[in-house]
Amino acid sequence: MIHREWRDALADRIESFLCEGLSGPMLGEAFERIAKASLAAGHPDPAIPAITLRLWQEYPDYRFGVGGYGAGSDRFPYAMGSQRLPDASWNAFVRAELFLRSDREMAWPEDQWDPYEQISSPPDALTVILLLFAGIAGLAAVMLLFCRQWLTGGIMAAVGAGLGILWSRLNRASLARKPVPAGDLGAFPFMDQAELAWELREQGRPCAPFRGEQAEESYGPGRIL
């Protein structure tokens, strides 16, 4: 389902943020208001929570501007405006606006609404501990063998090798459990660059142009916009 009113409201705020100097706190207030309305309605349009969650990761400090911190706050420098955004975060906002202006359904599964979670989740504590002890055992083995403590050094080397093998197996199992992204993480909320290019042809250039590599992919040679 597409909730056009909420999509247009979000897209308008994003455009104002990128092109007209809307402050971070004001953007945060609008996002919070729309996100709460979507939640109360049971998220009939999955694009609303998906895009809100993603952009919260790209620009986290705008939340804290609400309730007293203005656009010039020294405590939260990102609240000074969108120009401080890194290229990747800026491009995420531009893609979000393009998607919201479209009539595309959100195709990403719910457990991948935040693609960064899929690629930056911290390793399991057990695997970190095993790797640490394997390294310590290996270093101790080298020192003991250097001192000609053959028996003790050999035992430590065997312990280190065993811990290393166990770590490798656990790490592979952990990676195998991690879901494969449903689409191109660099195109989210679109599924891939082809969908993004299509919308650019249909809608024309957005108010805020892409930056860096995304600009090359979107506006480079061979693109008909």
Same domain, 186 and 109: yes
Tell me the mean pLDDT in the region 177-198.
84
Same domain, 18 and 113: yes
Same domain, 99 and 209: yes
Q: Residue 136 sits in which domain range?
A: 125-177
SS3 201: helix
The verdict on residue 18 lying in a domain is: yes
Name the pLDDT band for 61 (thresholds 50, 70, 90). Answer: low
Min mean pLDDT across 56-65, 120-129, 161-170, 190-199 is at 56-65
Min mean pLDDT across 74-78, 95-99, 116-120 is at 74-78
Same domain, 76 and 133: no
Q: Is the pLDDT of residue 71 over 60?
A: no
Q: Is the pLDDT of residue 77 over 70?
A: no
Burial of 91 (0-12, 13-18, 19+ CB in 10 A): buried
Q: Is the pLDDT of residue 145 over 60?
A: yes
Q: Choose among 163, 105, 94: nearest CA to 134.
A: 163
Min mean pLDDT across 68-77, 113-122, 188-197 is at 68-77
Q: Is the pLDDT of residue 149 over 80?
A: yes
Give the count of domains, the chain. Answer: 2
Q: Which pLDDT score, from 0 to 100, does residue 123 have?
A: 56
The verdict on residue 224 lying in a domain is: no
The verdict on residue 62 lying in a domain is: yes
The verdict on residue 225 lying in a domain is: no
Same domain, 213 and 103: yes
Type of residue at 175: L
The verdict on residue 42 lying in a domain is: yes
Name the pLDDT band for 78 (thresholds 50, 70, 90). Answer: very low
Eight-state DSSP code of residue 74:
S
Better-predicted residue by pLDDT, 218 or 142: 142
Name the pLDDT band for 18 (thresholds 50, 70, 90). Answer: confident
Q: Which pLDDT score, from 0 to 100, does residue 83 have?
A: 66
Angle, in degrees to the nearest 10, between helices 212-219 and 87-101: 40
Same domain, 213 and 137: no
Same domain, 115 and 134: no
Type of residue at 215: A
Residue corresponding to tokens 């939640």:
39
Name the pLDDT band for 191 (thresholds 50, 70, 90). Answer: very high
Same domain, 112 and 205: yes
Tell me the mean pLDDT in the region 154-167.
85
Same domain, 30 and 85: yes
